[in-house]
A and B are shown apart, each in its own frame.
Chain A
Amino acid sequence: MNRTGFLYDDRYQMHRVGNYHPEVPDRLPAVYKGIADAGLLSRLTLIKAQLPDMKWIELVHDKNYIQRFEAACGCGNTIFDSPDNQMCSVTYETALLAVGGILEAVRRVMEGQLDNAFCAIRPPGHHAEVDKAMGFCYFNNIAIAARYIQKEWGIERIGIVDFDVHHGNGTQHIFEEDPSVFYYSIHEHPSFAYPGTGREFEHGKNLGHGFTKNSPVLPGRGDIEYKLLMAKDLFPAFDQFKPEVILVSAGFDAHIDDEMSNIKLSTEGFSWIAEKIMEMAKKYSKGRLISVLEGGYSLRRLPELARNHIQILLER
């Protein structure tokens, strides 16, 4: 059994969105319930939210953007950069707590107190660009974690696996010229789904050429296609790259019962993905893996999906 951390805090529900918005606070209690009902809590190390040192966020985002976000939130704006990004007076604070909590989870893994961790945070991060909020995301959590690991812990090669059903445009753009971070994303084909990037021919730029890999999946293809594409595009790439730490953008919105996509991945399909990522972590990164929640909007399915995910982190 692994020593697995679980980042969870009621304060992540403070960030509120308007009507008819899927990224609701209730997503997190759904995640918690699945894990608690399965009796897993006693086997996990609970990690609480905390505020981060701003210098880590500034490794990824423009200072100007951070100030703009804080100001917009402080003024009582309900929308930031696009109507997709709805917010309330404490959205900025919640976003900071998400980053801080994740960095704490990373620290414990890097210090060897934990083998791996799952971070159930809001708001999500992978659409956030250096200077722009997008697709419900404000700070690019996973990108900040990657930079923090490199700077604070002297790690050279980070591998990111993003299985949210939407392409992580922000993460890709942040690292597309950087050969030290390999970004892999599998998602619904951009001609059918937000945000319209992540095509096969986007494979990094300049020095980073070959260190970005995208597997777009046509609607309805589900488990079989995911298995084929990950075997073809991800496994050989990581075998060559040999990431020293693996970060996961864990979105559960490709599920067949999730209204946000048409991919039709099964619950078992998600377990298969987690198992394969764990295998790679064992093989290349001494088990070091930090998984961070992105999307996943089916309140009915989130309990089982989060439970299976963290159970695989614990037991594989």
Chain B
Amino acid sequence: MSSLVTARNVSKSFGNVRAVDNVSFDIEKGKIMGLFGPNGAGKTTLLKAVLGLTDCEGSLSVLGLDPFKQRKELMQNICFIADVAVLPRWIKVAQLLDFMESVHPNFSRPRAEDLLSRTKVRIDAKVGELSKGMVTQLHLSIITAIDAKLLVLDEPTLGLDIIFRKEFYSNLLNDYFDGERTILITTHQVEEIENLMTDIMFINDGRILLDSSMEALPDTFMELITSGENADKARQFGPIYERDVFGKKVMTFEGVDPENLEGLGEPHTPSVADLFVAKVKGAAA
């Protein structure tokens, strides 16, 4: 497997605050990596470092390039949607396509026009006249028409209604993702991309709490719904997090042999959202 992104001991400080603190990870080709963290965890800073928008300490290689020093070369093969609002409001859709065609060597105008024809976005409309959902459709169509190796999405569906959000991810999978391309995505709406991701990474206080493939999660993590004496017994195996639900205890275990917990309650694999809370709160406790 070739590694598209390789980070070794990457750090970035703003004054005394270490936004990213000695982080190491790899993203391999063909993966859809979800990056999660609370607000201010360092997600956006890490993405910016990957995109070459900010410099950092340590060694970071994206597509074999130094993202900060070789940003122009990198951007020929990376796309990103940082937030729904970034397309300039004054530009017309046709102008945007003209511009992309003239500056981006890997942009296919016919493909973009084809993708747009399936939406309500008119070619002669101004971005400022489009609804938020349509702007995102436009942005995704443009990005999808770029033959890029890595797509970085930072809260791409923020502020969109559920229909546009669902459509966004289905278009992303159907039109963009082909197994060759790689996606790095952050969002607060974890549930919506849970079935889409192949890999997952949690970050908090600038440090990585979890870096795993989705397949490996059930082997590592288990959630147990239990109560009374069983709860006390289960607690001896060191749950990383415990919460109360309708008078019962829900415990999250990491790397505990399921046999040990047998008969102590209802076991199941935690959802990514629950796992996220368990890891973040558990680490804080």
Do A and B come together as binding partners?
A: no
- Name A residues whose Cβ lies closer than 8 Å to a Cβ of B: none
- Name B residues whose Cβ lies closer than 8 Å to a Cβ of A: none
